[in-house]
Amino acid sequence: MINDYWEQVNNIFNGLNAEQIEAISAMLFSITLFYCATSIATAYFGDRLIIYFKLEEKYPWLSRLIKYRRTIQDYSIGFSLFIICFLAGYVFFCKIFSIKISLITSPFFSIKEN
């Protein structure tokens, strides 16, 4: 089942030229950056709301869950920052060395230059 799906994706990418693959890569980068930024913002503002409404003081039985939430979100924020830095470095590397992103992001697909 996964192999069939992979073959379908491979066939789709084989039909695209370099500019189209580069556009798809840029869209995926943008979506990933948006997701990571949203994740960081929701973690920050969620914690601010917990502090503002003093939920730990009002509901002591919730304090343990809030502490677990904070530790998980610390890891989530760290991972999101890592992904943002990685993608920024990746794009920066490609711009400095004038490498087309599509040539790096699609090592498993053959690219047809038109």
What residue ranges do the domains of the chain occupy? 26-105
The 10s digit of each residue's pLDDT in 23-46 is 888 899 999 999 999 999 999 999
* CB-based contact 113:22 (threshold 8 Å): no
- Rounded CA-CA distance 78/34 in Å is 15
pLDDT in tens, 78-106: 999 999 999 988 888 877 766 665 566 55
Task: State how far the Cα of 8 lies from the Cα of 70, in Å rounded to an integer.
Answer: 41
Taking all residues of the chain, what is their mean pLDDT, rounded to a whole number? Answer: 85
Q: Please state, in angstroms and rounded to a whole number, the distance separating the CA atoms of residues 73 and 40.
A: 9
d(CA 74, CA 26): 28
